[in-house]
Structure 1
Amino acid sequence: MTVSDAEQRLLALDPNRSFAVAAPAGSGKTELLTQRVLRLLSTVDAPEEILCMTFTRKAAGEMRQRIIRALQQAAQQTTATTEHQRITLELARTALARDKALGWQLLQTPNRLRILTIDGFCLNLARQLAADSGFGDQVEPLDNPLPHYQRVIAELLLPALEQQTPVGNAVGTLLLHLDNDLNKLEQLLVELLQKREQWLSHLLQARDAKAYLEENLQAAINEILTTAHRKLAPFGSELAMLADFAATQLPDAKRYLKIASCQGMTSLPDGNGDHLDRWLGICELLLTSSDQWRLRLDKNIGFPTDVDGDKSLAKARKNSMTALLAELREVPGLRDTLEDVRFLPYRFYPENQWQALSALCQLLPTLAASLSVYFQQHKVCDFTEITLAALRALGSEDDPSQLALRLDYQITHILTDEFQDTSSAQFEILRQLTAGWQPEDGHSLFIVGDAMQSLYGFRNANVGLFLEARSQPIGQVQLEPLDLTVNFRSQAGIIEWVNEHFPAVFPAEENIGRGAVPYSPTEAFHEAISGPAVNLEAFLDYPDREAEAQRVVELVAEARRENPDGSIAILVRNRTHLPEILSALRRSGHSWQASDIDPLATCMPVIDLMSLTRALLSPADRIAWLSILRAPWCGLDHHDLLYFVTITGENEEQTGFPLLLSQLQSADALTQLSPAGKAILKRVAPVLIQAWQQRQRKPLRCWIEGAWEALGGPDALGSATELEQCRQYLNLLETHDHAGSISDWQSFEKAVQSLYAAPEENADPNLHVMTIHKAKGLEFDTVIIPGLNRKPRNEDPQLLLWQERVSEQGGNQLLIAPTAETGQEKDELYLHLDRERKLKTRQEIARVLYVGITRAVNRLHLLCTIKAGDEPVKNSLLNSLWPAIEADFKARSDTIHWHQHQGDADNDSLALLKLASLKRLPPQWTPRLANTLRSQDMSSNDAPGSQTATPWQAESDSTARHTGTVLHRILRQITLEGIEQWSEQTVVERLPFWEVQLRQLGICETQPA
């Protein structure tokens, strides 16, 4: 079968030409890269002349493996079974002939193939010229550079505050701007150091920072106005006439409108900021205050019913304006462009904002230099420093280093994969590597990417650079754009669905500066298979996501029945969207392949252990103490727990922890508590008192682990998996031991947040659970994407916003704005950049959805939970898909599988039932002698989770359910009557009625809840 883009694929193998290839999902880009490398091997004198760069070690390994496998198959005279395999083997045979002729012995020495990650290549560059780059040959990148940033900032800031130096004055100015909040200043500087490759080169190159930044600002404004001018130009004369008419006819009470600035206008204003008022007037004339096209024209915007008694003229102008608006609605992207114009900021920095920026421009280069010195002294670095060191090692385009000249001689061909995720610093490295190249000198540059799959804006990736590379030269190298269109992964049914829906999901027009990417349709290589290719399911009015999670389990079972050996992937946007799904999978007996997906910080055994750690280390942490009294090894019911809440609440200021500890065995407590509570405290209190007495007498881990074991923590676990999770926590705790305590709780909590459950040894090899980002580059027979309407993580307001934008003419421009001074109105430029950031985020979310959907080979299932009549959650995946499916949702189309919640008391009180359910060790529990976690030869029969080793018991399910039902009725009553109608007296008066309801349900007074 001949593919429709076969000619483009063959053209991409020409070693004498340079290309920028757009390769959509499933288009076989890795195979194309493999074929080009094989083709280049037949032309070079040494394999080291070819440099391949990718973004991950996995991708580099896969490319190397494919090349070697092709060479091996060619050596073994393997027969091709497909057309693309035939091409690959022919190229491999030619490469082997060159290998034999020049004695390379690639099959014996595959490391001669220079296939590296970009970070790995930069590290090699920096080490090759350690003296010039300021980089030691023994330096290794840090996994967590944050503490080092904080140390450098502290070492610079604290002395500077006491000195009358330019740096000291800059620090003082910034503190004044931030209301003397030193923590805010540290937070700001940490954020800037993390992304210093975006701003450092701009500030170092600019002789006059203010002039440079304002020039960039005006260029960005002019670019938007030029776009508006281009789109309105065909209607310019008529629009100018109608705008002048409207401005002239505005009533005196409305002369404050921007429309008034259009009076006397005879043509469209030029596309620059000198005429911004008139542009804003045009926007106000065409759009409502909510940025929608105007539907109503009246006297308040300059279209009265008569003009000096002439009704015919007024009617004619109004009709002309109505007809013009109808035409303008059909201009692609015009409404969005006019909205952009409305949000344009000032062209020159106000003095108060420039003072803060000027201070940053003074401070930041010094801070960046201090960090570099610190890294050299301590022989550590971050990945940004590696990139910056590589740039220093290469020199500049006008003054290349000896290393750059040597590389120019050594490297003839460069190939770069995943170019859509390139950062500006990495782009600059590529520009330096090709600086000396000339047309037709035997060099070639080959970049491959898919702008629709650019997901890493949070890692400084700039998809605009890929768009720029397809239209503007990289240095002296002009790349020819090539487009692949055939999808070899998904069946035709999925391709058709994506082609139908995604033009509405992606922006209509390309915008290099903003990184906006329109959808490019693809063609299916594989025919459609029977049955629905894409299944969209909506759960309406469900109080939680349990039903959606259970449906995921059912879909896994259905996929198993259809294709027992097929691969299945459950893909989510964030790990936090998985707890209900993982719980449902566990209940159904499924195991799965996953890494870094199940955070231990959300696992109850680890949470309980952390509460125990906090309680013993922090005497005044009442929440921690109450948590361990509720944990399974203790398990006080809420009546007993309330007693201790009252005690600690009344006496916290006077005695705090000692009082709570003494109350655990006090006579007063024993008379106030239930029989079950008394029995529990009789066992637990001595253990906690003994643990407190042993503080700082043992290593931290031994102390906490010993207390946990004595309380019965291991026996309260439900499985060997939970035991392993606790082991991971205790191992981490051991690394943070500082004289029997934890010196930095914030650092420790972050470390706990980074812990993930280890993959199960006997996990199902065909069931995968991962984030969409992790799934990039993979494919699965069945893909399930639940939680489309899940809320994303909240973004904290930033103290400084900056944007390194790619201009339409090529090149990077830095825009930067600090937040307004404390107590002042929000800054125009800050609001503009914040809007740009949100627009970029929205576009990237659409690309995340595209990547998730295009992992599917045969079946795709999309699930969401939403209230009937509601709009999707802002910035959710469903919100991105909404323009394509909104009509189907509102019409309850049968293209969507609907699940309507049927509310009842039992279901509505599900959350309350979970809270009421209480797991705890039985009263007769006694501690085991063995040290649970240190026994390396513990048999499976002794492991937590077996019948003999899991003695915790669940309190009566019926008691919890009936208690939840009555509690739900009470809460519903409060909601209906209003909380203001309720008082303590109301509760006392109604208490007998609730007790009757509980007794009618079979709950007696002595039962614990």
Structure 2
Amino acid sequence: MHEFDYHTALNPERSVVIEACAGSGKTWLLVSRILRLLLAGAEPGEILAITFTRKAAQEMQARLLEWLRLLALQPEDEAREFLRQRALSDSEIEQLLPHARNLLERVLTAEPTLTINTFHGWFLQLLQKAPLEGGAVGNFSLLDQTSALLEEAWQSFAEDLAEQEEDPTASALQELFRGHGLFNTRALLLGFVAKRAEWWAYTAGQADPLAYALERLRRELDVDPEQDVLAEMQQDPVLAEWHSEYAQLLGKNTATDQKLAAQLVDALALKDLDQRFATLCPVYFTKSGTPRVRASSPTQAKRLGAHGEARLIELHQMMCDLLYEARDRLTAQAVYRFNCIGLRCGAALLDAYQRLKEARQMLDFADVEWRVFQLLSRSDYAEYMQYKLDSRYSHILLDEFQDTNPLQWQVMQAWLGAYGAVGSRPSVFLVGDPKQSIYRFRRAEPRLFQIAAASLMRDFAAARLEQDRSRRSAPAVIQAVNRVFAAQPDFAGFREHGWHHDTQEGAVALLPLAEKPAQAEEEGADDTVPMLRNPLQQARQEDEDVRHEQEAAQLAEKITAIVGRWQVDDEKRGPRPADYRDIMLLVRSRTWLATYERALRAARIPYLSSRQGGLLDTLECSDLAALLEFLVTPFADLKLAQVLRSPVFGCDDSDLMRLARGEESSWWQRLKALPEELLTAPLKLALERLAAWQEIADRLPVHDLLDRIYFEGEVLQRYRMAVPQAMVAAVQANLHAFIELALNMDSGRYPSLARFIDEVAALRRAPEQESPDEGLIGDGGNALRILTVHGAKGLEAPIVWLLDANAAPRNESGYRILVDWPPEDVAPRHFSLVSRKAELARAREHYVEAEAAHARRENLNLLYVAMTRAKQALIVSGSTSGKGGESWYQKIQAGLQDSGLGVGLSPAAVPPAFDMEEKPSVALEQNNLPVPPTGRREPFSRLDPARHHGIQLHALLEWVDMGRDLPEQKEPLQARLGLEEAEFAPLWAEALELLRAPVLQRFFDRAQYQAAWNELGYQGGDGEVRRIDRLVEFADCVWVLDYKTGGGAVDDPDVLAAPYRGQMNEYRRAMESVFPGKPVRCALVFPGPTLVEV
């Protein structure tokens, strides 16, 4: 494999196109290129970098500033090495080093600033600077979510047509409803609106777009809408003779053919031509629409004679050809009629949607792209805007170019193509990977990468480079990638990948598929009469499919075996035991996500799940929505019950039963009427706070009201106390996201709480991709991540588990828009509507076949992205499936066959000191409490010596492994604490004394307990974080141990334990809520060692 040419790639004077594989460091290349441009003297305002997500743009900006800060502050030798890594020679480094030291200030103070933006963000900037007559956006705002406005446009569209029964569009809509139903009609028309950019490009410049589109379709189908195909067939006397002769021959053949002969005779007797044709076709064709097989055979020749058999086969072939041609002409007519009414209604709905946006002064992403395209290529101001761009930008960088859509490329082409002399052209740096194009549903066109590369090589003398060496994945993972994709005929252009870390350990495991349980034979299955059941008394017995539950159980079991035992390579800390945070679970879709989450919760495995559009479905946000609804409608009893049971008030079932027995009309009235002696503390608190919040609900903006509720109701603290520690970060993030939602909706200016509630309800009904996502978690702590493959793009993890990998890819559904837009063309070549699969027409089959080929390639791209997220280990699992089609699991299995990869799930070698049996604490690194506003933090070295000693001993007791030889662990543990021998020796002796004491053996011997945790953190009722030194779970009880290591031997343990009784009782109460079925016992461990139960 050739070495990558970094000198050419980072040369600021060359235009470059780079096709870089997954994990090869594309972001590093882009930011390094920007740095080299700045070092070469480019002004920050002359640089334009475009990527596809705001997150990627922010990451590029942050990395650039971080590098510039390092260049400004780090020692000169380190700065020289930094520049040397970016392909600068020693002489260039010495010359540019003083300049590099000043780049940070230059970039931060530059006017205009360096531009790192998304395509849509940059397009908006262009429109804001355009002349008013040229398409400037003025006061228009960008519409991120369109579903609510589309719903409003649909309602307006339908209501307007309902009042205009004679309107052609109203008639067309009614015909769609009658022939295809409301659901399919709505899906089709909303799909048309989703393809509005393609429609605008297809009909651009036409006075009557609808007539233009229908005429192009008519010519392509080669159809005469007025032709009476069946009547012309009926008038042909030869056909009647052929049918009669064919029927006679069938009557002499097999019993099946004799039935077909009778059906043929019956069909010819029918007067209705449509019924006759529908009855004739099954005689000649199978149910799938293919001609019946007619071949010669000795027995058939004996029945019909040689001449009769030959004539039967000849007639069959001639009639099939005629009927097939007639059927195709009928289908073409049906397609044309369907498009006549469908395109008319789609264009009308699009007009209603555009008018609604115009009235609201809003633009969506498609509007922005189309306006910029017109501005730079077709308007009177194109040359003016191109001149402004030419004078502003001299260096253009394009990231993730495989995700570009045709319209975006047309914009760039219009700009770049307008440059004149070679000397005035900008440098262009284009990076992408067609293998990672997975956003076809967002109109991404990976074929544009090759077209753009050829254009830049031709017009800008760009160098073409390929980077196929992964800096992310271990050799085992890359070998698996090479074997799987080299064997895929639909994965053209794949080149064998190399790896950067030659010695890194890795593993690929293909787990057995979860099987559907075999049906047990019922007793009495051989009896003659089955038992009847009374459906009112006995439910129907159905076999439950638990394959995904089995896969989920296997997932939880294997993760428990991996964490703490497998070794991962940490870039900062070196080799260490695997944590939950090192594992990423990937799914293609969210269909079975809840099943996997249930298994993880049951196994007490902490996880973070990025549910798209799932914020309003979380329990905590559902509670808050119920609270707001109650404030508007106090008679909503179910909402009040939900609020009372939520952590906001913490009422129990007995509290709700008190309200249920009341006589007043609503629960709120019953709560207010409860006698003082029946008001428990939670009910009293609820009564006071709900009454106070009702008074201000109609006076404060929604955000301010929620802010008051969060503060007075201690919402964040109460939810933190109520949920498992592993879920605290996610729940807190969701609560913050909910209040942020109130601020983001119309900038927090909703005139009433009722209006906000209506908007929340609308968002619940919105598609997943437009509903608000769950809150982003800054630090998820020690928890694994569950992501879709789309959501994991750009991410990585030491251990990646691909779930449900045996699921078959989804097929294209009916009632969609069929578009053919070759990437080299300025507009689509074809635009039509598809109804049922049977109504396709031969003229459109090649478009559908091309669409299916694109879908197959993107399915492989998804698999490539999924596999290349893994740094060290890739695990693949799934369940058996009855559906046809080659799944990801099957492709990986075929690729790894006879390779020695994917044959097991054995851990890598783990240093003895790190192979811990105890479950790692998931709470140690989570502390969401704010720093106290007063006081100062004492450095560790200045702590009280006794306290310092206690902290070190606690750490040692947490890390030591009782399952291994203790003397062997001394040296690595001493290194881990960073202590000299003189300081570590007494500490080690004290730890051994505790661990080997007979009175404490049961708490450290793995054979005697079920589970154990060290330094277990939890949230107390006052909001403070407390830590239990050691928690040990036995079969019949739970023990809490607290080490008291100060002082010497104990004379009177009970007297010494007295000051700690309150602390231990607090531990007991907290753990009783965690282990409700077992008694919790607490003990202090004093020097000696002495165990004192409290």
TM-score, structure 2 normalization? 0.56
How is 1:741-756 mapped onto 2 (pairs within 5 angstroms)?
Answer: 742-743=757-758, 746-747=761-762, 749-750=764-765, 754=772, 756=774
Cα shift readout 1:334-377 (whole Å, capped 9, x = no counterpart) = xxxxxxxx9999777744213214414753664465255335xx
Is the partner of 1:204 in helix, strand or coil?
A: coil
Q: 1:699 aligns with which of 672, 697, 700?
A: 697
Q: 2:57 aligns with which of 50, 54, 60?
A: 60
Mapped pair 1:421 → 2:420: no
Change (3 A) 1:787 1:163: closer
Structure-1 residue corresponding to 2:22? 25
Structure-2 residue corresponding to 1:356? 341
Cα shift readout 1:397-455 (whole Å, capped 9, x = no counterpart) = 99724112332344444321101111222112111211213584552443221111112
Structure-2 residue corresponding to 1:300? 293
Judge conservation of contact 1:791–1:873 (CA < 8 Å) in 2: yes
Judge conservation of contact 1:356–1:818 (CA < 8 Å) in 2: no
Give the superposed CA RMSD: 6.5
| Counterpart residue identity of residue 761, structure 2 | Q
Q: Residues of 2 paired with 1:349 and 1:299: CA distance? A: 25
Mapped pair 1:558 → 2:599: no
| Counterpart residue identity of residue 173, structure 1 | A
Judge conservation of contact 2:473–2:870 (CA < 8 Å) in 1: yes
Mapped pair 1:855 → 2:869: yes
Cα shift readout 1:172-228 (whole Å, capped 9, x = no counterpart) = 423432349889777655554444223222223346757865797799999xxxxxx
Structure-1 residue corresponding to 2:358? 373
Q: Residues of 1 paired with 2:515 and 2:83: CA distance? A: 48
Judge conservation of contact 2:402–2:432 (CA < 8 Å) in 1: yes
Structure-1 residue corresponding to 2:556? 549
Judge conservation of contact 1:419–1:449 (CA < 8 Å) in 2: yes
Structure-2 residue corresponding to 1:817? 833
Judge conservation of contact 1:126–1:135 (CA < 8 Å) in 2: yes
Change (3 A) 1:759 1:835: same
Change (3 A) 1:91 1:358: farther
Q: 1:6 aligns with which of 4, 7, 17?
A: 4
Q: Residues of 2 paired with 1:68 and 1:685: CA distance? A: 54
Q: 1:942 aligns with which of 1003, 1018, 1022?
A: 1022
Change (3 A) 1:288 1:587: closer
Q: Residues of 2 paired with 1:595 and 1:698: CA distance? A: 35
Structure-2 residue corresponding to 1:323? none
| Counterpart residue identity of residue 51, structure 1 | L
* Displacement after TM superposition at 1:896 (Å): 4.8
Structure-1 residue corresponding to 2:168? 169
Q: 1:527 aligns with which of 490, 498, 502?
A: 502
Is the partner of 1:871 in helix, strand or coil?
A: coil
Mapped pair 1:717 → 2:717: no
Mapped pair 1:803 → 2:858: no
Change (3 A) 1:610 1:552: farther
Q: 1:498 aligns with which of 474, 481, 485?
A: 481
Which runs of 5 or more structure 1 residues have no equivalent in the other structure? 223-247, 258-283, 292-297, 314-341, 511-516, 648-654, 666-678, 899-935, 959-1009
Q: 1:885 aligns with which of 893, 896, 905?
A: 893
How is 1:962-1001 mapped onto 2 (pairs within 5 angstroms)?
Answer: none
- Paired residues in the alignment total 788
| Counterpart residue identity of residue 199, structure 2 | W
How is 1:583-602 mapped onto 2 (pairs within 5 angstroms)?
Answer: 599-602=614-617
Is the partner of 1:359 in helix, strand or coil?
A: helix
Q: Residues of 1 paired with 2:389 and 2:449: CA distance? A: 24
Structure-1 residue corresponding to 2:799? 782
* Displacement after TM superposition at 1:85 (Å): 0.8
Structure-1 residue corresponding to 2:375? 393
Change (3 A) 1:365 1:941: closer
Q: Residues of 2 paired with 1:891 and 1:799: CA distance? A: 44
| Counterpart residue identity of residue 199, structure 1 | W
Mapped pair 1:87 → 2:94: no
Q: Residues of 2 paired with 1:731 and 1:82: CA distance? A: 41
Judge conservation of contact 2:475–2:499 (CA < 8 Å) in 1: yes
* Displacement after TM superposition at 1:497 (Å): 0.9
Judge conservation of contact 1:552–1:581 (CA < 8 Å) in 2: no
How is 1:186-585 mapped onto 2 (pairs within 5 angstroms)?
Answer: 190-206=190-206, 209=209, 213=213, 300=293, 302=295, 350-360=335-345, 363=348, 366-367=351-352, 369-371=354-356, 373-375=358-360, 378=361, 380-396=362-378, 400-437=382-419, 440-443=422-425, 444-470=427-453, 481-504=464-487, 506=488, 508-509=489-490, 519-530=494-505, 532-534=507-509, 536=511, 538-540=513-515, 543-544=549-550, 545-559=552-566, 563-564=575-576, 568-573=582-587, 574=589, 579=594
Is the partner of 2:774 in helix, strand or coil?
A: coil
Judge conservation of contact 1:171–1:359 (CA < 8 Å) in 2: no
Q: Residues of 2 paired with 1:45 and 1:888: CA distance? A: 49
| Counterpart residue identity of residue 764, structure 2 | E
| Counterpart residue identity of residue 113, structure 1 | L
Change (3 A) 1:90 1:373: farther
Judge conservation of contact 1:48–1:114 (CA < 8 Å) in 2: yes
| Counterpart residue identity of residue 202, structure 1 | Y
How is 1:904-983 mapped onto 2 (pairs within 5 angstroms)?
Answer: 940-943=1020-1023
Change (3 A) 1:162 1:611: closer
Is the partner of 2:87 in helix, strand or coil?
A: helix
* Displacement after TM superposition at 1:897 (Å): 5.0
Structure-2 residue corresponding to 1:132? 133
Q: Residues of 1 paired with 2:456 and 2:646: CA distance? A: 64
Structure-2 residue corresponding to 1:278? none
Change (3 A) 1:687 1:863: same
TM-score, structure 1 normalization? 0.60
Q: Residues of 2 paired with 1:952 and 1:832: CA distance? A: 68
Which runs of 5 or more structure 2 residues have no equivalent in the other structure? 223-245, 258-283, 307-326, 517-546, 570-574, 699-704, 907-932, 935-1017, 1027-1065, 1079-1094
Q: Residues of 1 paired with 2:864 and 2:382: CA distance? A: 41
Judge conservation of contact 2:612–2:772 (CA < 8 Å) in 1: no
Judge conservation of contact 1:781–1:859 (CA < 8 Å) in 2: yes
Is the partner of 1:51 in helix, strand or coil?
A: strand
Change (3 A) 1:482 1:796: closer
Q: Residues of 2 paired with 1:852 and 1:219: CA distance? A: 44
Change (3 A) 1:127 1:704: closer
Q: Residues of 1 paired with 2:881 and 2:329: CA distance? A: 29
Judge conservation of contact 1:170–1:362 (CA < 8 Å) in 2: no
Structure-2 residue corresponding to 1:1004? none
Change (3 A) 1:833 1:943: farther
Structure-2 residue corresponding to 1:668? none
Q: Residues of 2 paired with 1:810 and 1:422: CA distance? A: 14
Structure-2 residue corresponding to 1:116? 117
| Counterpart residue identity of residue 717, structure 1 | A
| Counterpart residue identity of residue 54, structure 2 | R
Change (3 A) 1:91 1:210: farther
Change (3 A) 1:302 1:96: farther
Judge conservation of contact 2:339–2:832 (CA < 8 Å) in 1: no
Judge conservation of contact 2:201–2:827 (CA < 8 Å) in 1: no
Cα shift readout 1:287-316 (whole Å, capped 9, x = no counterpart) = 99799xxxxxx993546579999xxx9xxx
- Of all paired residues, the percent bearing the same amino acid is 20
Q: Residues of 2 paired with 1:45 and 1:616: CA distance? A: 59
